[in-house]
Each structure stands twice: as structure tokens, then as C-alpha cells.
Amino acid sequence: MGHRLREIRQGARLMQKDSRRPAISPSKLSRMERGVHRVRVEDMVRLVEGYGVGEAEGEQLVQLTKLANEPGWWARHRRVVPPWFDRFIGLQEAATWIRTYEYQIVPGLLQTEEYARAVTEVKYLLAGAAEVEARVRLRMERQELLASPARPHLLAILHEGVLHSRFGGPGVMRRQVEHLIDMSARPHITIRVLPFTNPCVLGSPVTLLRFDQYRLPDLAYIERGSRSEYIGEPGESDYFSAQMAQLVVHSASVEESLAILKSAL
């Protein structure tokens, strides 16, 4: 919604400082356009009127504002969802393509419950049993996205080392690899393995989101410890898209990746 607001303003050849016309400060408008400030319905009405937006699109934007202000299903997990991750879950729900690279653990959308629990216990050493279970529940509910009617296409690239970690022990890992094999058979899920012998061109996990239904640029999401970074500027996100393409080139084919999974099993 913020991206569309910026397009409308630029189409009207207005600077952010010209937002005094709809009586919204430039700093506030900037945050709204970048998607980091909640847009109130009354603010959207002012902008629609101030920018001279047509009646049909104006009504659509107002309705979209109302929808955007409704809490997502993950609001009930708010205790274990930090603000920076709340945004990621919402963006992931809207994405039509999710491309992700992991070199330490199986991507969250493909984890079994027991594997997720083992990873969570390692990552959150000071968390009590109740918090661990809350985080595992959130992860399992997030996976329902892959079974929804509007499910995105998922490309997951795993470094081969992920298959030889021992989160939870051999039994847990065996069932996790079996799950990866089962998931790879789904038409909207592609799993590629980056073999030990091939160069690793990205030193940190990254997820790229594409939004074909909306006029939005691709977005790169990088998680670093207790914080995250969203990269949406074309020049910067293009870099990560190119890196992801390189990972695909160096990865085993779909058929070879399946053979590697079966070998690890």
C-alpha cells in the first residue's frame, strides 16, 4: 500500500514536502510509503483527496487500509513474535514466490515439528519449555501457507552440511530428511542441494520474496541474531537476486538433489 502511495504521489509530480496539502508531515508520509508506519483510514482519505485519486481507486485504497489494520492470524503468538519478524510473516503471506538459502538449518517452512523443537531449544537457550512450545506452534502454523489455495512457489536451496547436522539426534534427522523428500514431490516446491564440493557464494542465509499480484519490487530478508534487515531498493535487491541465481547454478539439479537427500537418509 505504501509503495502504491508513492507511485501516486510521484505520478502527480509532488514531493513529500508537498504532503502539506493533505495535511500529513513529510516524515510521516515517508514512513507510510516505506511500509514502516501504520496507515490510518482518516490519513488515507486525506491522501486520496489531496492527490486527486479517482473514486474507484480511492475506495479500493481505503478498503485496503481497513484490511491492513486487521491483525494477522499470528497476532495470537505476539509474545514470541518480535516486531521485525511480524512484518516478515505478513510479507511471506502475500508473496507469490519465496526463494530461500540456508547453510546451517532446514528452512522453517520445511521443518518437522520435532526438528523445529530441537532447533528452537538450541537457538533460545534461556527460553522455558512454554516459550519453546509457543515458538514451535508458530512455526507449524506458518507452514500452513504451503497448503493454502494461494500458496506461493517455494525454492529452497540447502547447503549439503544441513543434512548432516544432528539436531535432535539421528532419528529426528532421518524423519526430517524423509519430510524433505516428501515435500520435494509437491509441484509448487523445489528443493536444491548445494554440494560440499561446490563453492558457497553467500555467507549468510537469505530469503527473497516476489509479489506478482502487487506492483512491488522483490524484497530480500536477512536475519542476523536478534534483528533483521529488509532490502527492497532495486539496486540492492538485484544483488541478492543475482547471488541466488548463482546458487542455483552451483546447486545440484532437482534429480541430483533428490539423490543426495536419499543418500543422507
Domains of the chain: 2-68 (1.10.260), 78-111+144-264 (3.30.870.10)
* DSSP 8-state secondary structure symbol assigned to residue 23: T
Among 17-26, 195-204, 237-246, the range with the most confident prediction by mean pLDDT is 237-246
Over residues 108-139, the pLDDT tens digits come to 999 999 999 999 999 888 889 999 999 999 99
Question: Cell numbers at residue 153, please?
Answer: 512457489
Please, which pLDDT band fits residue 218 given cuts at 50, 70 and 90? confident
Q: Is the pLDDT of residue 201 over 70?
A: no
Q: Is the pLDDT of residue 71 over 90?
A: no
pLDDT of 192: 98
Q: What is the mean pLDDT of the chain?
A: 87
User: Cα separation of 163 and 102, whole Å?
Assistant: 11
pLDDT of 20: 46
Percent of the chain at pLDDT above 90? 46
* DSSP 8-state secondary structure symbol assigned to residue 124: -
89 contacts: CB under 8 Å, gap ≥ 6: 72, 74, 81, 142
Q: Is the pLDDT of residue 19 over 60?
A: no
